[in-house]
Amino acid sequence: MQLLLLKNLGIDYVLKPSKAQPKKGLRIAVSFLRNGKLSIRYSKGIKPEEIEAFIAKNLVWIKTAHQKQLKPVRLFVQGEDYLYLGKSYALMPYVSRHETVIINGGQMHLYAKNASVEAKKKVVEVWKTKQCEMVFQELLYQGFQRLQKKMTQFPQLQIKNYKSRWGCCYPQKNLIILNRALIHVPIELILYVIMHELVHLLYPNHSAEFHNMLASLVPDERAKKRQLSQFRPDYQ
C-alpha cells in the first residue's frame, strides 16, 4: 500500500496490521519510531482508503511531529545548545591555535583553529570521543563490580555511532557496544544502559531471569527507560 500524502512530504512510514482486538473506537493509530519512521498500526478489516482518510485528517499533527523527529543541523554558533551528561550548555566558539573544549558554568567554550563549521566540529568530536571513553569505562567498571559474583571477566567496550539504539552486546565475545550519543544523557541513564547490557551478557534474551536480575540491580529501571526515551540516539 502506498500513501501518496506521506510520500509527497518525504515521510517514511511502516504499516503494521494488528492481530489484537482493537479497543473501542480505536482502529488506526500512528506514532513515530526512534528511527524517524511513522508507524501506522491498523486493525483487521481496515480498508486502504480508511487509512488514507485517517492520515489526511491527522496530517497537521503528523507534519508537526515529523519536524520534531528531524535531526537538527549543528552550526556551532554562539548560544547554540549542547547537551552534555543531561545538562544543556550554551556554546561559545573562539578562534585559537590551541584547540580544546572547556565546560565552565552553563557554557561550553570551544576553541578551534578557524571559524569554519568543519574545524569546530572536528574539535568537538575529538573531545567527545575522549569524554565517552573516560565516562563509559568508569561506569562500566562500577557496573561490573556489582556483578562480580556472577561475572569473572571484565567485558570489552566499544563505542560507536548508532541511529536508533543505545547499546548492544555480544555474549560470546564478552563485548559491549555503547552509542556515543549516551554522553549527552544523564549519568544515571548511562549506567542504566550499561547495567542492561551487562545483564544481557549473562542472559542473552529477555527472559524472566533477565528482567528479575535487572530489576534487582536497577529497581526503577522502567522509569529509567521512559526517561531515556526523551533523548535522541542520533544526537550530535
Q: Which domains does the chain have, with CATH numbers?
A: 4-69 (no CATH), 81-228 (3.30.2010.10)
- Burial state string for 10-26 with b = 16 or more CB within 10 A and e = fewer than 16: ebebeeeeeeeebeeee
Task: Return the pLDDT at 23.
Answer: 57
The Cα 144–Cα 170 span in angstroms is 16
CA distances from 233 to 25, 28, 87 (A): 34, 27, 16
Residue whose entry in the numeric block shows the C-alpha cell 482493537: 22
Identity at 85, one-letter amino acid code? L
pTM for the full model? 0.77
Question: How many CA atoms lie within 13 Å of 165's alpha carbon, on the beta-carbon side?
Answer: 11
pLDDT tens track, the chain, 236 positions? 678 888 888 888 888 887 665 555 558 888 888 677 888 888 878 888 888 888 899 899 888 888 777 777 889 999 999 999 999 999 999 999 999 999 999 999 999 999 999 999 999 999 999 999 999 999 999 999 999 889 989 999 999 999 889 999 999 999 999 999 999 999 999 999 999 999 999 999 889 999 999 999 999 999 999 999 888 888 88
Closest CA to 159 of 142, 143, 141, 135: 135
Residue 191 in grid coordinates? 549506567
